[in-house]
């Protein structure tokens, strides 16, 4: 199917969806984005995604050239325009075109782009058998340099760690922060289970506050599972009973090995499976 790409209120065929090569989003990674899932024709937690988009934009002094209400309507309209009942949305706001040079205030027209399509982040077998992870030597951006809470177009930090993972034969890699603590994976948040307690790194560990992460924490509380947001190290992953990752594109996916060590018995665990089932029910009733 020929997808229709939204750019600044107009729809274009994929081959005609273009922005300027002088856009600072291309030249400097100067912009913000959100990745969102569509389930049964509804964008999952759209308002939470848009609120995070606005926060990211505010943090980099980027003014989104429309109201959150208008963008809500435009995202939903783009889903319908593409006839999608289940899929993925990439919502991008760039700084816009300007002269060569770093000055962002010489860019006068931010670009709002909405891509709605299908996505397969991991093979289906990984959801039933689990992922293998490796610890990357590339650390998460120092929060005093660029806050990981900003979902910016500059993803080179994550890409460098992703390359390490792929070169080690792993489709995902765990990233540590500047203190040597576990932060997150290259594209997902990480959870552990030990003695029935669910743990995940706190926001100040240098992570993106994931929408799916928060949904899983809510589901765990509702299921009576004790949850803790607490600093953790690689040792905690090595000795965990279970591990899983969360993200809008990844959803909930088990991890069964890290650094050639099995996590637990090397199979997806009962808490992981229970929360995955609860998440599936949640997204299809939203």
Which residues have a catalytic role annotated?
151
**Residue 201 and residue 243 in contact, taking contact as beta carbons nearer than 8 Å:** no
Query: How many CB atoms neighbour CB 5 within 10 A?
Result: 22
- Cα(126)–Cα(176) distance, rounded to whole angstroms? 23
Evaluate whether 196 touches 256 at the Cβ level (below 8 Å): no
* Residue in this structure with the two tokens 């729809």, named with its chain if needed: 11
d(CA 274, CA 238): 22
Minimal CA–CA distance to 177: which of 150, 205, 158? 205
CA pair distance 116, 235, nearest whole angstrom: 40
């Amino acid at each position: 199917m020929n997808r229709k790409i939204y750019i600044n209120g107009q729809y274009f065929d994929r081959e005609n969806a273009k922005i300027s090569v002088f856009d600072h989003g291309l030249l400097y990674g100067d912009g913000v984005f959100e990745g969102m899932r569509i389930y049964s024709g509804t964008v999952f937690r759209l308002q939470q995604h848009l609120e995070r988009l606005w926060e990211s934009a505010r943090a980099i002094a980027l003014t989104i050239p429309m109201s959150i209400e208008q963008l809500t309507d435009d995202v939903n309209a783009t889903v319908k325009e593409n006839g999608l009942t289940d899929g993925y949305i990439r919502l991008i706001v760039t700084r816009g075109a300007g002269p060569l040079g770093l000055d962002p205030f010489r860019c006068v027209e931010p670009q709002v782009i909405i891509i709605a399509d299908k996505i397969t982040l991991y093979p289906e077998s990984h959801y039933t058998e689990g992922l293998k992870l490796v610890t990357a030597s590339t650390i998460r951006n120092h929060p005093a340099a660029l806050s990981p809470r900003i979902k910016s177009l500059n993803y080179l930090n994550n890409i460098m760690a992703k390359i390490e993972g792929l070169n080690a034969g792993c489709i995902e890699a765990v990233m540590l922060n500047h203190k040597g603590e576990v932060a997150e994976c290259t594209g997902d948040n990480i959870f552990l289970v030990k003695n029935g307690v669910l743990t995940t790194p706190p926001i100040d560990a240098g992570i993106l506050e994931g929408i799916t992460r928060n949904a899983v924490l809510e589901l765990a509380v509702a299921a009576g599972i004790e949850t803790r947001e607490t600093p953790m190290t690689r040792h905690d992953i090595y000795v965990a009973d279970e591990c899983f990752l969360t993200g809008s594109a990844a959803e909930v996916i088990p991890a069964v090995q890290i650094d050639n060590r099995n996590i637990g018995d090397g199979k997806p665990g009962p808490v992981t499976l229970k929360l995955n089932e609860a998440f599936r029910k949640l997204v299809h009733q939203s």
